Structure 1
């Protein structure tokens, strides 16, 4: 995805939540496990109910039991840092993108190297989306192109280019043959994967769009923006059924908002979303009102790079300086976040 545009200053108190939001008390002693990665963790995704998969600057893809903080598999094959991870929840297949311009397919139960390699981009691969049946893969790159791949053969079926479309993230729309894509040109696009053509573009934002996610019902899309000193740094909710106007914006981060996700409906009566930022905070928002319900500051973590949902009470957060954080979310009386472990 390229570098984060803003560095976190050492005076971490600057990045605490806004005064009108009561910040969750920092956990004094989260359980510390062996680190999954030897360097910054760039992306994390949920693989199964108790497994997550992460990629890092150490060029390694790691499968961990997030409940115990134990690394179960370490896949080595990329020549440069891993930029993105994608998988279909419940499957055994893992896709990883890298600065080495390639995408690799790994099998959870395969002891050898990668199962398949997808080569065709000319620059760093920064976006991955896989179809629900794991047969089709779409990758995006800073070379302004998207490629559609047949997973079994590794063959590139289609390739499309849009000028200045430096891809930052891709996300498959559940139940549809479409993907959502964010870009450094500040535009969010919806692509039809059948012909790899742009089906719709959302109104241009004022800042680079860093990440995107789609709700489980396929009706809504979230995107997040870069920025600094509170300018930009927001997440944006779009309605995929009426693709003209912004539904609402979530403002409160002080540095680039690197990741945004929808939380499962089972967590709360009201729909929730979560964001994480280079300002070292994770925030949970009421989806429809954009009210910030809680904010957790992860001291010493460095920029936070990615979020993943594990179950109805747990979120994982990847960081540059302190590995992967396991967070517990409690919606019984209001909404609170608590750090329980690091690995």
Structure 2
């Protein structure tokens, strides 16, 4: 996967091995509540996993092809998944025997999936150049917008607002107002394809992740959503595509942090404001790292192509450290 940074700390073998969540590559992961995570994979399965106990709680089967994205409102019983089968599905934690709702309307793989903070609306995006807004109660399509060359790669709902931020293969970052499904803001195009986006909890910032190779591209970028063309800083150091980036929850006394995962097998933690890389963990043999999610201020979940899901622990005793605690 290319030569990793010499200062990168490699994962130790002192982790717990739990039962595997998926039989193949894990493509997406998010947290459901303080104990459960939701993941999707190339095995077509959507899995609810108790990451503290190390056990599968539910295996949700309904997609005909690879699952591309998963989403939920934290603490809710409604779970969502998107797939290469051109569909998005809604599941209920209390009844997992079949999907609670099906959202059909895209012509190609669904790569974007974002649910509104109140769980009433779902936004999906596809390689068919379209973005759709759905009523989660009825499954009906409320609106659909198509823009030429807008091959959607990811969607993220901005907390506390009606807006959704979106990345695309045309390298343009768009902000949609879901009420009319209109683009209300665009950020300057990057040199490489933007593959992932995340919005900060206060709704002020957006983080996008870049495709690339050999250290070219491969960065994450922080944007100020209050200023249309304002690029705050870039986080550079990965040697291959940065597949995912997110804002980490922090205590009020701590400096804000950003986490990124890359196809170069590494996870990096950054100071959000200074863009300084604080710690790097290299997960040897994991292959490309596809997705990360924050459980709390000290726990991260990282999905990989080869070795399932990794539970990472972030500690600050005598300096910031990141280590692998479990694998499943």
Report if TM-score (shorter chain) is over 0.5: yes
Note the C-alpha offset of 1:208.
0.1
C-alpha separation between the residues in 2 aligned to 1:222 and 1:139? 19
After the TM superposition, which of the residue ranges 66-75 and 22-31 deviates more from structure 2? 22-31
Post-superposition shift, 1:313?
0.7
5 Å-filtered alignment, 1:139-218, equals 139-218=124-203
Shift in alpha-carbon separation, 1:178–1:112, aligned structure 2, 3 A: same
For 1:26 and 1:96, the matched residues in 2 are separated by 30
- Deviation string for 1:29-74 (max 9, x for gaps)? 3111111000000000000001000000000000001112211100
Does residue 342 (structure 1) correspond to residue 327 (structure 2)? The answer is yes
Task: Calculate the TM-score normalised by the size of structure 1.
Answer: 0.94
Match for residue 297 of structure 2 among 312, 320, 338:
312
Q: Which residue of 1 aligns with 2:38?
A: 53
1:256 aligns with 2:217: no
Cα shift at 1:268: 6.5
Deviations 1:67-123 (A, max 9, x none): 122111000000000000010000011100000000000001104200000000000
Aligned to 1:287: 272
Map of 1:82 onto structure 2: 67
Q: Could you tell me which runs of 5 or more consecutive residues in structure 2 were left unpaired when the two chains were aligned.
A: none
What are the equivalent positions in structure 2 for 1:231-242 lying under 5 Å apart? 231-242=216-227
Equivalent pairs, count: 328
Contact 1:267 1:331 in 2 (8 A): no
Give me the TM-score of the superposition, normalised by structure 2: 0.98
Provide closer, same or farther for how the CA distance between residues 268 and 336 of structure 1 changes in structure 2, counting only shifts above 3 A.
farther
For residue 25 of structure 1, report the CA deviation from its aligned partner: 4.6
1:28 offset after TM fit, Å? Answer: 1.8
1-structure distance, mates of 2:305, 2:53? 21
- Match in the other structure for 2:212: 227
Secondary structure of the residue that 2:251 maps to in structure 1?
A: helix
CA distance in 2, matches of 1:267, 1:212: 24
User: CA RMSD of the aligned region, Å?
Assistant: 1.1
Mapped partners of 1:289, 1:261: distance in 2: 16
Unaligned runs of 5+ in 1: 1-7
Alignment of 1:99-118 (within 5 A): 99-118=84-103
| Cα distance in 2 between the residues matched to 1:250 and 1:83 | 25
1:274 counterpart (240, 259, 272) = 259
Match of 2:116 in 1: 131
The 1-side partners of 2:158 and 2:20 are apart by 33
CA distance in 2 between counterparts of 1:337 and 1:75 reads 31
For residues 272 and 213 of structure 2, what CA distance do their matches in structure 1 show?
A: 23
Q: Does the 8 Å contact 1:27/1:340 carry over to 2? A: no
